[in-house]
A = this chain, B = another copy of it.
Amino acid sequence: MSKLTKKRQAILDILKASHDAMSAAEVHAAVSDIDLATVYRSLEYLTNEKLIRRLQLGTQEARYEFQTEPHHHAICTECDRVIHFTAPDEKIKELLGVKDFAVDELEVTVRGICNHDK
């Protein structure tokens, strides 16, 4: 039986406090005395428990974020900032008209340019 250990809790806290999604390396840098391999194992555990979400935002490096309500992501191709936004998933599902498919998870990723200059 696996458990939410102290180290796993510490990692969860880091992600909870972070406004942005973090990479495993960033989490590792933010916590102290937790081996990188353990960070990876913990992130996997927390993802399975659905306490956090793993995101693959276009790069090969995964990012993790604390799981609140489901939401989507817009990535600025100029400044790499990630913006969150919610959407009426049901309506989107209708628009998509996916047939013969039991939708489990819907993820919208937007790429473009944010107004980071102002």
CA distance A91 to B77 in the complex (A): 23
| Structural contact, A85 and B110, CB atoms closer than 8 A | no
| Structural contact, B114 and A110, CB atoms closer than 8 A | no
Contact among B57, B59, B62, B101 with A114 in the assembled complex (CB-CB below 8 Å): B101
Please give the count of copies of this chain that the complex contains: 2
| Structural contact, B98 and A105, CB atoms closer than 8 A | no
Contact among B58, B72, B106 with A56 in the assembled complex (CB-CB below 8 Å): B58
Residue among A59, A61, A88, A110 with the highest chain B CB neighbour number at 10 A: A110
Given A56-B59, A87-B95; A115-B100 close (CB under 8 Å):
yes
A111 sits at the interface (CB 8 A): yes
Contact among B56, B60, B96 with A110 in the assembled complex (CB-CB below 8 Å): B96
Query: Digit string of A16-31 for contact with B (CB within 8 Å is 1, else 0)?
Result: 0000000000000000
| Structural contact, B60 and A74, CB atoms closer than 8 A | no
A83 sits at the interface (CB 8 A): yes
What residues on B are CB-neighbors of A95 within 8 Å? 87-88, 91-92, 95
